[in-house]
């Protein structure tokens, strides 16, 4: 997935979403990104103007946090291939930081046009951390590394690399697409895990629901759907069941529920943490379909469902769909709210509420 700050001049994320590319508004500033530790296999940054060495290297420490052990950081910027004093000072700072982080350079090349790139790799064990001459940056306190990264300040520390009890190195996930259907190994950092039986049951249930009902019996025109959001993603079963469709799914894990986002990333899917009592970090009218499975009951004690529905209306494209699976009591609460937005609504089997956003505008 791609992420960038809100930019009123270029609107890079809005442009990416219009093209049907997974994208998200985010910025590396003073708070952690809304991703779990060890999430991404590779991080790429070309022509980016992030000052990685700022505040003792805290922005780069944040990349280290979300990069999987053994993962790669690909960086192409003027300090990599220019020799003026300013760029060389930045490059020297990066050399010092990456050595302190135990990252190794696996490639550094320049093309015929003189544009250069460097590729770093994160270590797969804690042996280098423990063997450093200076404990700077220090290793993180274990219990803090398990906190959900939501309104969390950046840490000046290196999270320990989770390693299996049977070995000294963190293992890489199996190849795609087998990775999607393979139960992630039990984590060694105390975060949530799922048994093989529950994983199989969850996968089978979503495969049946999507193939037998969602795709063929709810009246949704899936040929017009590209950008999809699962508002309460669980273990990512809904997204996994749609993997053969020409679309992508943003898996949202609510912060007040079980922290399943590491499992979603281990399966090779993408997602973010979010609190649905707040606005979601995207531009208006950027998603073609919103899916909600038993989400709203957990929100009623903290925020007004009318405001949640208005946020859904903001991010849904005109002509887009909303698919709600919930109890009949909750559906009866939500349906009048969604009708008040001038959406078309249809109830199927007393379990599924299907809505379509029209082109209505207020009268002049």
- pLDDT in the model for residue 293: 98
Answer yes or no: is pLDDT of 187 > 70: no
Q: Can you read off the two tokens belonging to residue 321?
A: 């769909």
Pairing verdict, β 316-325 and 352-357: antiparallel
| Torsional sign, CA 22, 274, 36, 256 | negative
Model confidence over 94-135: pLDDT tens digits?
999 999 999 999 999 999 999 999 999 999 999 999 999 999
Token code pair at residue 69: 């052990």
Radius of gyration of the chain (CA): 22
Task: Provide the 10 A C-beta neighbour count for residue 134.
Answer: 7
Selection from 16, 22, 15 nearest residue 249 by Cα: 22
- d(CA 229, CA 274) in angstroms, rounded, equals 12
Q: Which two tokens stand for residue 310?
A: 């208005």
Residue pLDDT, tens place only, 267-280 = 999 999 999 999 99
Residues 252 and 148 sit within 8 Å (Cβ to Cβ): no
Which residues are bridge partners to 352 per DSSP?
Answer: 325, 348
Q: How far from 24 is each of 51, 60, 118, CA to CA, in Å?
A: 20, 19, 25
Dihedral (Cα; 145, 149, 155, 160), 10-degree rounding: 30
pLDDT of 193 over the 60 cut: yes
pLDDT at position 7 is: 72
Q: What distance in Å separates the CA atoms of residue 69 and residue 67, rounded to the nearest whole number? A: 7
Q: Is 41 exposed, middle or buried (0-12, 13-18, 19+ CB in 10 A)?
A: middle
Supply 113's token pair: 């046009």
Q: What is the pLDDT of residues 329-343, one digit of tens each?
A: 999 999 999 999 999
Strand order in the sheet with 116-121: 40-46, 67-76, 116-121, 104-110
How much is the average pLDDT of 213-224? 96
* Strand, helix or coil for residue 213: helix
Tokens matching residue 210: 């999507």
Task: Determine contact, residues 108/71, Cβ cutoff 8 Å.
Answer: no
Q: How far apart are CA 152 and CA 99, in angstroms?
A: 26
pLDDT in tens, 56-82: 999 999 999 999 999 999 999 999 999
Centre a 10 Å sphere on the Cβ of residue 133 and count the other Cβ atoms it contains: 6
Q: Are 35 and 149 in contact (CB under 8 A)?
A: yes
Mean pLDDT of 243-259: 97
Instruction: State the Cα–Cα distance between residues 315 and 31, nearest whole angstrom.
Output: 24
pLDDT band at 294 (very low <50, low <70, confident <90, very high): very high
Q: Can you give the pLDDT at residue 64?
A: 97
Whether the CB-CB separation of 162 and 188 falls below 8 Å is answered with yes
For residue 189, pLDDT beyond 70: no
- What is the rounded average pLDDT of the residues 284-292? 97
Task: Look at the block and give the residue holding tokens 């139960």.
Answer: 183
Q: Name the token pair of 100.
A: 């302190």
* C-alpha separations of 96 from 91, 100, 229 in Å: 9, 6, 40
């Amino acid at each position: 997935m791609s992420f960038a700050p809100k930019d009123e001049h270029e609107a890079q994320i809005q442009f990416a979403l219009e093209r049907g590319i997974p994208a998200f508004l985010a910025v590396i500033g003073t708070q952690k990104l809304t991703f779990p530790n060890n999430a991404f296999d590779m991080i790429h940054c070309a022509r980016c103007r992030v000052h990685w060495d700022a505040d003792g290297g805290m922005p780069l420490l944040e990349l280290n946090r979300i990069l999987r052990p053994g993962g790669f950081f690909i960086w192409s910027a003027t300090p990599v291939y220019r020799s003026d004093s300013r760029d060389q000072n930045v490059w020297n700072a990066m050399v010092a930081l990456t050595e302190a982080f135990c990252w190794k350079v696996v490639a550094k090349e320049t093309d015929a046009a003189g544009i250069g790139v460097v590729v770093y790799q994160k270590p797969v064990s804690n042996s280098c951390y423990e063997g450093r001459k200076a404990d700077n940056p220090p290793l993180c306190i274990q219990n803090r590394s398990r906190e959900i990264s939501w309104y969390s300040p950046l840490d000046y520390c290196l999270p320990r690399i989770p390693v299996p009890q049977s070995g000294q190195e963190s293992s890489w996930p199996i190849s795609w697409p087998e990775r999607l259907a393979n139960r992630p190994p039990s984590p060694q950092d105390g975060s949530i895990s799922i048994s093989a039986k529950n994983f199989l049951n969850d996968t089978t249930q979503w495969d049946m629901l999507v193939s037998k009902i969602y795709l063929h019996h709810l009246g949704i025109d899936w040929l017009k759907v590209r950008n999809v959001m699962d508002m309460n993603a669980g273990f990512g079963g809904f997204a996994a069941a749609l993997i053969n469709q020409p679309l992508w799914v943003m898996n949202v894990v609510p912060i007040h529920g079980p922290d399943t986002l590491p499992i979603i990333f281990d399966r090779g899917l993408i997602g973010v943490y979010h609190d649905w009592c707040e606005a979601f970090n995207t531009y208006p009218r950027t998603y073609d379909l919103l899916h909600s499975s038993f989400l709203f009951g957990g929100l009623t004690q903290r925020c007004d469902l009318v405001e949640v529905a208005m946020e859904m209306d903001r991010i849904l494209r005109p002509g887009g769909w909303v698919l709600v699976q919930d109890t009949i009591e909750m559906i009866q609460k939500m349906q009048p709210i969604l009708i008040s937005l001038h959406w078309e609504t249809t109830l199927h089997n007393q379990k599924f509420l299907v809505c379509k956003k029209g082109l209505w505008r207020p009268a002049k």
